[in-house]
Chains A and B, each alone.
Chain A
Amino acid sequence: MKSTLVTVLFLAAAASAVQAGDKKDKPAQIPADYMHFAHSWEAAKAEAKERNVPIQISFHKDG
C-alpha cells in the first residue's frame, strides 16, 4: 500500500516536472494588449481605410 502511494506521488511529481519543462521551452503567448499585425495586405488596406489611419509595413529578416 505504502509503495503504491509512493509510486503515485512520484508519477504525479514527474508529470508536473514535464509540464513545467514544456512551459519553459515555449514562448510566452502574445498578450492581449500587444502590437497587432494585419493578416494580409488587402486586410491592412481595408482596415486602414475604415479607420482612416496609416499602414506601417515592416520588412524584416531574422538572420
Chain B
Amino acid sequence: MDVSVYPNKDMIAASKTCVNIFCNDETEHEPKKKYGNEEWCSANYGQVCDEHVKNHRETSSLFFKDSIPNPTSILCMPDGTEIKRKVGGMAGKELVDLMKEATAKVGPGLGQDEYLFGKGRLKACEDAVKAGKTKDAIEALNAGNKTIGKNPAAKTVVDQIKAKLEEFNKAGMEIVEKAKEDVAAGKVEEAKKTLLEVSRNYKTLECAKAADKEIAALPKTK
C-alpha cells in the first residue's frame, strides 16, 4: 500500500492486531530528492532500504510465480501460509477490513502494544543483569507480569517472564543454601550479609522469604 494510507488512525489501530512487513525492491524513493533515500525509509517505514529489499527478496518467490503486481497486500497465518490477497490499490478501510478478517481467522492474539511492553521488560531485565543489578532485573520482570500476566493472549511472553523469574528464584535459593552452610560452619556474619542481599535484591520471590526466615533464625553473635 502507498505510504499515504498508513498514517490513518483506524489503519494504525488495525495494524497493531497483525505483524506488518513491507517489501519493496527499490532503493530510489524520492524523485524530487528533497532528502535521502534512507531518511525517507526511516521516516515512513522505520527501516532502511537494505531491509525492505531483503524482505522483498525473501518473500517474493514464496507468493509469486512470475511478475509481481504492485501494490499487492497478502494476509497470512502466523506460520506464513497465505489466507487472502488483494492486488491493486485500495482504500484504507478495505485493508482494515482485510486485517480484521484475518485476525478473526487466526484467533485471539496479543496486541502490538502489550507485546512490545512485555518484550521491553524482558530486554530491561537482560540489560539490568549485564549491569549487575539483580533487583532492577526482577522489578522489570514483575512489572511485565503485573501488566500483561492476566491476558491469556500474552501467554507466550508471560511464560518467558515467569521462566526468567524462576531462574532468579533458583539462583537465590542456591545462595540461601550456601548461606545456611556458612551458618553451620560458624560464619554467621558472612551468612547474614549474604541473606540480607537476597532479601533485598530478590524481593517478591520465594527465595527472599526463605532468606528472611533464615535471618530470623540466625544465632545471636557477640
Q: Which chain A residues have a beta carbon within 8 Å of chain B's beta carbons?
A: 25-30, 33-42, 44-45, 47-63
Identify whether the interface residues of B are mostly helix, strand, loop, or mixed: mixed
> Is residue B73 within 8 Å, beta carbon to beta carbon, of the partner chain?
yes
4 additional A-B pairs beyond A38-B21, A45-B78, beta carbons within 8 Å, are A40-B58, A54-B78, A57-B59, A60-B2
Q: Which chain B residues have a beta carbon within 8 Å of chain A's beta carbons?
A: 1-2, 6-7, 11-12, 15, 17-26, 29, 31, 34-35, 39-40, 42-47, 51-52, 54-56, 58-60, 63, 68-80, 83, 95, 98-99, 102-103, 105-112, 115, 153, 156-157
- Contact: A51 with B59, CB < 8 Å? no
Which residue in A35, A53, A60 is a CB contact (below 8 Å) of B110? A53
Residue of B nearest to A34 (CB): B12
Which residue in B2, B45, B68, B69 is a CB contact (below 8 Å) of A37? B45
- Contact: A27 with B109, CB < 8 Å? no
- Which residues of chain A are near B83, meaning CB under 8 Å? 54
- Contact: B58 with A41, CB < 8 Å? yes
- Contact: B109 with A51, CB < 8 Å? yes
- Contact: A44 with B43, CB < 8 Å? no
Identify whether the interface residues of A are mostly helix, strand, loop, or mixed: loop
Residue of B nearest to A24 (CB): B34
Which of A35, A38, A41, A52 counts the most B-chain CB atoms under 10 A from its CB? Answer: A35
Given A27-B40, A36-B112: A56 and B21 within 8 A (CB)? yes
CA distance A25 to B32 in the complex (A): 11
Residue of A nearest to B75 (CB): A54
- Contact: B7 with A55, CB < 8 Å? no
- Which residues of chain A are near B18, meaning CB under 8 Å? 48, 53-56
CA distance A52 to B25 in the complex (A): 28
Q: How far is the CB of A53 from chain B (nearest CB, A)?
A: 4
Q: List 16 A-B contacts (CB under 8 A).
A: A30-B45, A35-B7, A35-B11, A41-B21, A41-B58, A44-B20, A45-B79, A53-B19, A53-B103, A56-B21, A58-B21, A58-B22, A58-B71, A60-B1, A61-B24, A62-B31
Which of A27, A53, A54, A62 counts the most B-chain CB atoms under 10 A from its CB? Answer: A54
Which residue in A30, A37, A54, A55 is a CB contact (below 8 Å) of B105? A54
CA distance A38 to B80 in the complex (A): 14
- Contact: A54 with B35, CB < 8 Å? no
